[in-house]
Amino acid sequence: MESTKQSNFLGGCLKFIEPLRLPGFDANAILDSRRKDIEALATAGATALTGIQSLGQKQMEILTGTMTRVRALSGKQPGQEARPAGASEAVQQAFYTTLSDVRELFGTAYRAQSDSYAVISKRVAENVEELRTLLQPRK
């Protein structure tokens, strides 16, 4: 459905530009290039959305794991005393686990950003090549 709307829009643009034919001006090539730009932006948006969803999922996993560790650390059941033995080791382990979780979150965020950036930078490079081709003198 989205592709049909896009084709109709670009077709309308082509009908508008057709009567304005200028020498050395290829309307089809320009419209095709803009279509590719729109597709690249849509892909980058989808990639960013996937990354954000992945980041949210990772945060939920970390929260769930942290809550499980807190419950295990307290080890307190109704009517029981808290376990003080080994508490410092447990706290230290919790600290290292938290650092590891934060590292994973940063890694997930970095991957999401770099994937979106790769899509955009590829399209920019293609635009430069298209522009270079369009600006070359015709023989």
Note the pLDDT of residue 5.
Answer: 59
Length of the chain: 139
Note the pLDDT of residue 115.
Answer: 87
Q: Please, which pLDDT band fits residue 1 given cuts at 50, 70 and 90?
A: very low
**Domain range list for the chain:** 2-76+84-135
Distance CA 39, CA 123 (A): 9
Distance CA 42, CA 49 (A): 10
